Homo-oligomer: A and B are copies of this chain.
């Protein structure tokens, strides 16, 4: 199957390069009768789009989406939904100097070897620009999930060396970092300002949480919900690690510590991150992802050109010093797409299942 398609029943297929005419997506499998407006999609696109603070790239893209099909009189029809975003701020000349060489830690070298051909302008297809379409598709998934009582939200949990403790969802949308701790924001700003002066970049950690997920989502044994989340989140540009629940902390845990005991009042902990045996338990789904530092920095680095000669590379252009800052809406979108796909898969097979056992929440 196509590497540019995600999902089995709720599928998202995308196309488009950073500096081509447009990004396009086809979202298929959405149940009919869902209220969808441009504003629904635009809200998350605006949260992701560049240039909204001094801490992200100054490239200006309005990222205005057009719905081409699949929505009639404000409701989905059940037919495939076409989405289009025109690229408007294409400064191709910024990139012409790097046509014949490979920027370190970029996809230049691997695309070249894989395809022989590549659109070198701004990274072409390997640019994080494609994630705009994930966000648009994810907004449709979020809208549907909301009708089922499910809410997907994310926040930044670490910026470079600065850990950000979760304090409150209320703070997340009020700062440029999606920080859940308003008190941390000045420190984050100072860090980023220094980073720009250093002409360097840094990594980040994002946490995504889904609340209200019913028990039963996930398809053993290979399409476990955690496996699919790992797939979807790792497919985001710059992600190098994914954890579910306690994640790598589980390594040093003992069984008596890790296991989330059940009581009639609810689960007593959530080391599992809401997933047991690959199936949602009814607890909040919790995933963490590690994003590497942006490769596009103006500090010179060693590389080679397409003939194998050594070169020194300085990546100019307008880049994010921390791609993690704009990653929260993207991670939410991917989690929402996975959950929606699995909700449909689950009800296909198990729509008739009824059990008397109460559904536990988390204490």
Contacts and interface: CB of A to CB of B under 8 A. Distances in A.
Nearest to A131: B221
A293 B259 CA distance: 8
Contacts of A67: 21
A253 to B, nearest CB: 5
A362 interface: no
A260 interface: yes
A36 B117 CA distance: 13
Contacts of A84: 22, 24, 68, 84
Give the number of times this chain occurs in the complex, counting copies.
4
B117 A76 contact: yes
A228 interface: yes
A70 B233 CA distance: 24
B114 A222 contact: no
A280 B110 CA distance: 7
A113 B203 CA distance: 39
A123 B335 CA distance: 28
B221 A33 contact: no
Contacts of A220: 3-4, 79, 107, 125-126
Contacts of A112: 355, 357
Interface in A248-307: 248-264, 268, 271-273, 275-282, 290-295, 297, 299, 301-304, 306-307
Interface string A151-171: 000000010110000000000
A201 interface: yes
A161 B257 CA distance: 14
A118 interface: yes
A262 B304 contact: yes
What interface size band does chain A fall in?
35 or more
A287 B101 CA distance: 28
Nearest to A274: B110
Contacts of A31: 349-353
A174 interface: no
Contact of A276 (B105, B229, B344): B105
Interface stretch (A11-19, A37-45, A53-61, A179-187): A11-19
A314 interface: no
Contact of A79 (B22, B125, B260, B282): B125
Contacts of A116: 32-33, 78, 350, 353-355
Interface in A68-98: 68-70, 72, 75-82, 84
User: 10 closest A-B pairs (Cβ-Cβ)?
Assistant: A107-B277, A3-B219, A201-B255, A348-B348, A231-B231, A105-B259, A110-B279, A15-B82, A78-B115, A113-B215
Given A2-B80, A68-B84, A110-B280, 16 more contacts: A4-B28, A24-B84, A31-B350, A72-B124, A79-B124, A105-B272, A107-B220, A114-B215, A158-B252, A204-B251, A228-B231, A230-B231, A248-B290, A262-B304, A264-B304, A264-B310
